[in-house]
Amino acid sequence: MNKSEMKYMKKEFYFSKVIRAEIFFTPFLIAIPLIVGLFFILDWYTRGFLEGNTAFYGELILGIIIIVGNITFDIPFVKSLRVLSKKK
C-alpha cells in the first residue's frame, strides 16, 4: 500500500449531532481496559496471593500488561486531544 492510501480519511465536523460517536466512545476506550486490568490483579490477590496459590501469577502479569499497554497509548491520545482543541 502506498503512503496516500495509509492516510486517514478527512471528516466534516457535525456540531449539530447529539454527540459524535468517537467522543461518546472515548471514556469507555480509556476506562474499560483499566478496569479489566485491575480486575485481573484483584483476582490474583484474592484467589492467588491471599491463598498462596502461584497458579494465578498469569493473571497478575496479564493485568499489568493490559494496564501498562493501555496507559502507554492513552497518554498520547489524550494529549493529542488537548493540543488540537487548544488550536481550535
Contacts with another protein, residue ranges (CB under 8 A):
1, 4-9, 11-15, 17-23, 26, 28-30, 32-33, 36, 39-40, 43, 47, 55-56, 58-59, 61-62, 65-66, 69-70, 72-74, 76-77, 80-81, 84-85, 87-88
For 16, the grid coordinates are 449539530
Q: Which is nearer to another protein, 33 or 49 (CB)?
A: 33
Exposure string for 51-82, b = 16+ CB within 10 A, e = fewer:
eeeeebeebbeebeebbeebeeebeeeeeeee
Shortest distance (Å) from residue 49 CB to another protein: 14
